[in-house]
Amino acid sequence: MLTLNLISQQLKQQIKLRRTYSMIKKLSCFFLILIVIYSFTLLFAEYLMQQKFNEIVNQTTQITKNSQSYNNKVKKINSQLIFIDKIQENLLKFSCLLDKVNKANGNKVTFQVISVSKETGKLIIKGNALTRDDLILFKKNLESLNLIAEVNLPLNNLLSKENVDFEIEAKLVKEKLVNIPSY
């Protein structure tokens, strides 16, 4: 088979250039399409990341608000505990004192009034004893209590031998009242 080359050299050159230009044009279009696809992918990724970032910021804000609420509650509870602790430090356990006074009684003395003053640290007991000896024994029992510093029984309370009405005033040791163990 025989081939004839009837195309001029210049025309061959132009055809070759057109092919090259066409190939470059196709490659450019292909790369341009790839770049556009890549750009859209990057834009979509940026959008998703921004959405995720906003979601995380919202969650962090919510957590911060919740933790602030819990911190406030803890501070309030701590202040209440400190207040309760101060109350308990100054608490005088009068029920224990009254129990000890009752045990010092011996069941031969009846009480009509028992008055305890925290401010003055005084205990006043008014009542009736069957005999003067019962009253003296009750006074000695009160003096033996470590919660009472001194017991004052006026002499006019000892004038009657039987059915003795009395009024005893005692000075309390506040420090020991605070440290009395509970029942």
Cα Rg for the chain, rounded, in angstroms? 51
- Asked whether the whole model's pTM tops 0.95, one would answer no
d(CA 166, CA 132): 10
Residue-level pLDDT at 183:
44
What pLDDT is recorded for position 121? 82
Pick the CATH number of 94-178 from 3.30.1360.100, 3.40.50.300, 3.30.300.30, 3.40.50.2300: 3.30.1360.100
For residue 113, the one-letter residue type is V
Q: What amino acid occupies position 161? A: K
Tens of pLDDT, residues 104-121: 777 778 889 888 887 788
What's the pLDDT tens digit per position in 31-72? 999 999 999 999 999 999 999 999 999 999 888 888 888 888
Handedness of CA 115, 98, 148, 118 (dihedral sign): negative
Paired with 152 in beta bridges are 169
Q: Where are the domains of the chain?
A: 12-90, 94-178
